[in-house]
Amino acid sequence: MASIENPVAELPPPSASDLAHGEVLYSIRDLTVDYATRAGTVGAVDRVSLDIRKGEIIGLVGESGCGKSTLGKALMRMITPPGHISGGELLFAGEDLMLASDRRMRQLRGARIGMVFQDPMTSLNPLARIIDHLTETIQTHESTVSDAAARDRAEQLVARLGIRIERIDDYPHQFSGGMRQRIMIALALALRADFVIADEPTTALDVIVEAQFLDLLLELRDEFDLTILLITHNIGAVAEISDRVAVMYAGKLVELGPANAVFGETKHPYSQGLLQSVPNIDVDDVDLYQMAGSPPSLVHPPPGCRFHPRCPAAMDICRTEEPAFLKVAPEQATACWLYSKGRYDE
Amino acid sequence: MSEQERNTPLVEVGGLTKWFPVQKGFIASLLSHGQIDNVRAVDDVNFTIQRGEVLGLAGESGSGKSTVGRLVLGLLEPTKGSVKIDGIDLNGLGREELRRMRKRMQVIFQDPLASLNPRMTIGEAISHPAQIHLPDLSSSERMDLVLETLEAVGMSPARFFYDKYPHQISGGQRQRIVIARALITRPELIVADEPIAMADVSVQSLLLELMVSLKEKFDLTYLFITHDLATTKYICDRIAIMYLGEIVEIGPLNEVFKNPQHPYTRALLAAVPVPDPRHRRKEPLPRGEIPNPINPPSGCRFHPRCPIAVEGICDVDQPRLKSAEDVEGHLASCHLRTGAHKDLDPTRTGQH
Amino acid sequence: MATTLENPPPESPVHLEEWEQELQKVGLVRRILRARRWYGTDWWFVTISTAMVVAFLVIAIAPQFFAKYDPLGQVGPRLLAPGELPAQEILILPEDSQYNSVADFATGERIPIAVQRETPSSEAARDEADRVTEENAAAGSDERVRLQIQRFETPGEVLDTVVAGDAVAGVMSSSVFKGLADQYPTLQSAGAISSAEQDATSFPLGTNQVGQDVLSRLIWGARIAIIIGFSAAIISFVIGVPLGLLAGFAGGKTDRLMTLIMDSIYAFPGLILAIAITAVLGPSIFNIIVAIAVLYIPTYYRIVRGQTLSAKEELYVEAARSIGAKSREILSRYIFPNVIPSVAIIFSVNVADAILTGAGLSFLGLGLPPSTPDWGIDLARGQEFIRSAWWLITFPGLAVMLVVLAFTMMGEGLVEIFNPKLRER
Average pLDDT, chain C: 82
Closest residue to B117, CB basis, from C11, C15, C316: C316
Closest CA to C32 of C22, C17, C42, C21: C42
pLDDT value of residue B217: 94
Q: What are the residue ranges of helices labelled H in B19-138?
A: 26-31, 65-73, 95-101, 112-115, 122-133
Those residues with Cβ within 8 angstroms of residue B135's Cβ, 6 or more apart along the chain or in another chain: none
**Which chains are within 8 Å of B by 3+ CB pairs?**
A, C
Please report the beta strands in A135-224, taking only residues with DSSP state E, as ranges in sequence order: 195-199
Q: What is the C-alpha to C-alpha distance for residues C335 and B117, in angstroms, rounded to an integer?
A: 9
Band of residue B223 on the pLDDT scale cut at 50, 70, 90: very high
pLDDT value of residue A228: 95
Is residue C338 within 8 angstroms of chain B, CB to CB?
Answer: yes
- B54-59 and B80-85: which strand pairing? unpaired
Complex-level ipTM? 0.88
* Chain B residues touching residue A207 (CB < 8 angstroms): 60, 227-229, 268, 271-273
Our CA-based measurement puts residue A289 at a distance from the nearest CA of chain C, in whole angstroms, of 6
pLDDT value of residue C423: 32
Our CA-based measurement puts residue C17 at a distance from the nearest CA of chain A, in whole angstroms, of 11
Closest CA to A213 of A137, A118, A279: A118
pLDDT value of residue B53: 94
Interface of B with C in 288-327 (CB under 8 A): none
Please tell me whether residue B230 adopts helix, strand or coil conformation. helix
Band of residue A13 on the pLDDT scale cut at 50, 70, 90: very low
pLDDT, mean of residues B185-202: 93
Q: Are C77 and C88 a contacting pair, CB within 8 Å?
A: no
> What's B259's DSSP letter?
S
> What's C421's DSSP letter?
S
pLDDT value of residue A283: 87
Cis peptide, bond prior to residue B157, ω within 30 of zero: yes
Interface test with B, best of C15, C16, C20, C322 (most B CBs within 10 A): C322
Q: What are the residue ranges of helices labelled H in B53-165?
A: 65-73, 95-101, 112-115, 122-133, 139-152, 158-162
* Chain A residues touching residue B276 (CB < 8 angstroms): 239, 263, 280, 282
* Chain A residues touching residue C7 (CB < 8 angstroms): 287, 289-290
Our CA-based measurement puts residue A12 at a distance from the nearest CA of chain B, in whole angstroms, of 39
**Alpha carbon distances (Å) from C70 to A214, B282, C194, C226, C359:** 84, 96, 22, 19, 21
Closest residue to C8, CB basis, from A35, A287, A292: A292
pLDDT of B152 over the 50 cut: yes
Those residues with Cβ within 8 angstroms of residue B2's Cβ, 6 or more apart along the chain or in another chain: none
Nearest Cα residue in chain B from A270? B202
Phi, psi of A285 (to 5 degrees): 50, 45
* Chain B residues touching residue C315 (CB < 8 angstroms): 109, 111, 114-115
* Chain C residues touching residue B96 (CB < 8 angstroms): none
Is residue C2 within 8 angstroms of chain B, CB to CB?
Answer: no
Those residues with Cβ within 8 angstroms of residue C302's Cβ, 6 or more apart along the chain or in another chain: C244, C262, C266
Q: What is the C-alpha to C-alpha distance for residues B180 and C61, in angstroms, rounded to an integer?
A: 49
Q: What is the C-alpha to C-alpha distance for residues C246 and C62, in angstroms, rounded to an integer?
A: 38
Interface test with C, best of B110, B113, B117 (most C CBs within 10 A): B117
Q: Render the burial of A153-163: b for 16+ CB within 10 Å, e for the rest.
A: bbeebbebbeb
Closest residue to C15, CB basis, from B120, B156, B206: B156
Average pLDDT, chain A: 86
Q: Are B122 and B177 a contacting pair, CB within 8 Å?
A: yes
Our CA-based measurement puts residue C349 at a distance from the nearest CA of chain A, in whole angstroms, of 27
User: In chain C, pLDDT over 70 holds for what percent of residues?
Assistant: 85
Q: What is the C-alpha to C-alpha distance for residues C423 and C425, in angstroms, rounded to an integer?
A: 6
Our CA-based measurement puts residue B313 at a distance from the nearest CA of chain C, in whole angstroms, of 43
Task: Give pLDDT tens digits for B1-55.
Answer: 555 555 788 999 999 999 998 877 777 767 777 677 888 999 999 999 999 999 9
Band of residue A10 on the pLDDT scale cut at 50, 70, 90: very low
> What's C7's DSSP letter?
-
Is residue B132 within 8 angstroms of chain C, CB to CB?
Answer: yes
**CATH fit for domain A25-112+191-339, picks 3.20.20.80, 2.160.10.10, 3.40.50.300, 3.40.50.740:** 3.40.50.300
Q: What is the C-alpha to C-alpha distance for residues C372 and C357, in angstroms, rounded to an integer?
A: 17
Average pLDDT, chain B: 89
Q: What is the C-alpha to C-alpha distance for residues C36 and C234, in angstroms, rounded to an integer?
A: 31
Question: Can you state the angle between helices C391-418 and C214-250, rounded to 10 degrees?
Answer: 30
Closest CA to B20 of B36, B33, B35: B36
Cα dihedral C68, C70, C76, C81 sign: positive
Q: What type of residue sits at position C285?
A: I
Give the number of beta-carbon pairs within 8 Å between B and C.
Answer: 79
Is B289 in contact with A178 (Cβ distance < 8 A)?
A: yes
Task: Give pLDDT tens digits for C369-424.
Answer: 888 888 998 899 888 888 888 888 999 999 999 999 999 888 877 776 665 443 33
* Chain B residues touching residue A248 (CB < 8 angstroms): none
Is C10 in contact with A264 (Cβ distance < 8 A)?
A: no
Closest CA to C142 of C112, C113, C107, C111: C107
Is C13 in contact with A292 (Cβ distance < 8 A)?
A: yes
Closest residue to A312, CB basis, from C1, C6, C425: C6
Task: Give pLDDT tens digits for A290-301.
Answer: 888 888 889 889
Is C35 in contact with A38 (Cβ distance < 8 A)?
A: yes
Our CA-based measurement puts residue B167 at a distance from the nearest CA of chain C, in whole angstroms, of 10
Please tell me whether residue A79 adopts helix, strand or coil conformation. coil
Q: What is the C-alpha to C-alpha distance for residues C381 and B125, in angstroms, rounded to an integer?
A: 59
* Chain B residues touching residue A260 (CB < 8 angstroms): 277-278
Please tell me whether residue C110 adopts helix, strand or coil conformation. strand
Task: Give pLDDT tens digits for A141-169.
Answer: 888 888 898 898 888 888 888 888 888 88
Please tell me whether residue B18 adopts helix, strand or coil conformation. strand
Is residue C422 within 8 angstroms of chain B, CB to CB?
Answer: no
CB atoms within 10 A of CB B300: 29
pLDDT value of residue B8: 80
Domains, chain C: 89-198 (3.40.190.10), 214-418 (1.10.3720.10)
Our CA-based measurement puts residue B165 at a distance from the nearest CA of chain C, in whole angstroms, of 12
Interface of A with B in 292-321 (CB under 8 A): 294
Please tell me whether residue A341 adopts helix, strand or coil conformation. coil
CB atoms within 10 A of CB A122: 10
Is residue A263 within 8 angstroms of chain C, CB to CB?
Answer: yes
Cα dihedral C108, C110, C114, C115 sign: positive
More confident residue, B347 or C327: C327
Is B285 in contact with A282 (Cβ distance < 8 A)?
A: no
* Chain C residues touching residue B128 (CB < 8 angstroms): 320, 323, 325, 333
* Chain C residues touching residue B173 (CB < 8 angstroms): 14
**Which chains are within 8 Å of A by 3+ CB pairs?**
B, C
Computed over its alpha carbons, how large is the radius of gyration of chain A? 21
pLDDT of C34 over the 80 cut: no
pLDDT value of residue C29: 63
**Which chains are within 8 Å of C by 3+ CB pairs?**
A, B
Task: Give pLDDT tens digits for A299-336.
Answer: 889 999 999 999 998 888 899 989 989 888 888 999 99
Q: What is the C-alpha to C-alpha distance for residues C193 and A178, in angstroms, rounded to an integer?
A: 98
Indicate the pTM of the whole model: 0.81
Is residue A120 within 8 angstroms of chain C, CB to CB?
Answer: no
Those residues with Cβ within 8 angstroms of residue C384's Cβ, 6 or more apart along the chain or in another chain: none
Our CA-based measurement puts residue B193 at a distance from the nearest CA of chain C, in whole angstroms, of 12
Is B230 in contact with A64 (Cβ distance < 8 A)?
A: no
Question: Can you state the angle between helices C214-250 and C285-312, rounded to 10 degrees?
Answer: 40
Cis peptide, bond prior to residue B118, ω within 30 of zero: no
Interface of A with C in 160-189 (CB under 8 A): none
Task: Give pLDDT tens digits for B42-92.
Answer: 999 999 999 999 999 999 988 999 999 999 999 999 999 999 999 999 998
Task: Give pLDDT tens digits for C73-129.
Answer: 777 777 777 877 777 778 888 888 888 887 788 777 888 888 888 777 888 888 888
Q: Are A114 and A197 a contacting pair, CB within 8 Å?
A: yes
Is A281 in contact with B286 (Cβ distance < 8 A)?
A: no
Those residues with Cβ within 8 angstroms of residue B114's Cβ, 6 or more apart along the chain or in another chain: C314, C315, C316
pLDDT, mean of residues A248-259: 95
Q: What is the C-alpha to C-alpha distance for residues C94 and C78, in angstroms, rounded to an integer?
A: 28
What is the distance, to the nearest Å, from the Cα of residue A112 to the centroid of all Cα atoms in its chain? 14
Q: What is the C-alpha to C-alpha distance for residues B270 and B263, in angstroms, rounded to an integer?
A: 10
Is B204 in contact with A63 (Cβ distance < 8 A)?
A: no
Closest CA to C395 of C200, C212, C227: C212
Nearest Cα residue in chain B from C311? B117
Closest CA to A161 of A150, A149, A153, A172: A153
